[in-house]
Amino acid sequence: MKNILLILLSTTIVVSCQNQIQKSEKELKSEANLKIAQSFFDNLFTNPEVSKSLLHNDFTFSWMGIIEQGGVLWNRDNLFDEYFKNIIPEILPNGIVLNTVDTIYDENGVAIIQEGDAEGKNGEYDNKYAWIFKMKDGLIYSLREYNSDILVATQLYDYKLIPNEN
């Protein structure tokens, strides 16, 4: 009787272990992409060398606005040596806090939706962001930043809004 009970128990354990849901390679790669994108932001201002190490050698970044700096392509070196070292501190002298509110991810890339909290050089700057990461070889291959360029123009640069006469 003990042998039959032991065999039934062993069989049940083996079958239950085999029935555990295994994640597909696509799901694992998707989750890895999200972790890389999140790590990029987690380290961007406090440990930029870690963020830089997550970038592919052929990496490009662009803010997709239509005013200054809009559409300019930055690479893995000048993004940190010029853009984050000189341009961003000039327009955001007190830095920025970015809070993630949503993510979408798959085996090819990641979209991160964030809300910013900052004081721009011309006043309060609480923009909303969509960051689109494309991945290649387990690294960030491209990053595109989308936000309100009206807010960027007025709060970070010296643009003035003029009402339409019509």
Q: What average pLDDT values come out for the chain (166 residues) when binned by 10 residues?
A: 63 60 91 98 94 98 89 94 92 93 98 95 93 98 95 90 83
- Residue 148 covered by a domain: yes
pLDDT at 1: 59
Domain that holds residue 77: 25-156
Q: Report how far residue 91's alpha carbon sits from residue 64's, in angstroms, rounded to the nearest whole number.
A: 17
Residue 161 belongs to a domain: no
- Number of domains making up the chain: 1
pTM of the complete model: 0.83
In a domain, 7, yes or no: no
Q: What's residue 23's pLDDT?
A: 86
User: For position 29, what pLDDT does the model report?
Assistant: 96
Long-range contacts formed by 112-120: CB under 8 A, 24+ apart: 112/37, 112/38, 112/41, 114/41, 116/147, 118/92, 118/94, 119/92, 119/93, 119/94, 120/91, 120/92, 120/155, 120/156
- Rounded Cα distance between 81 and 75, Å, is 10
pLDDT at res. 69: 79
* CATH number of the domain residue 65 falls in: 3.10.450.50
Can you give the pLDDT at residue 103?
98
Q: What is the DSSP string of 90-137?
A: HH-TT-EEEEEEEEEE-SSEEEEEEEEEEEETTEEE--EEEEEEEEET
Chain centre distance of CA 163: 35
The residue written with tokens 């065999």 in the block is 7
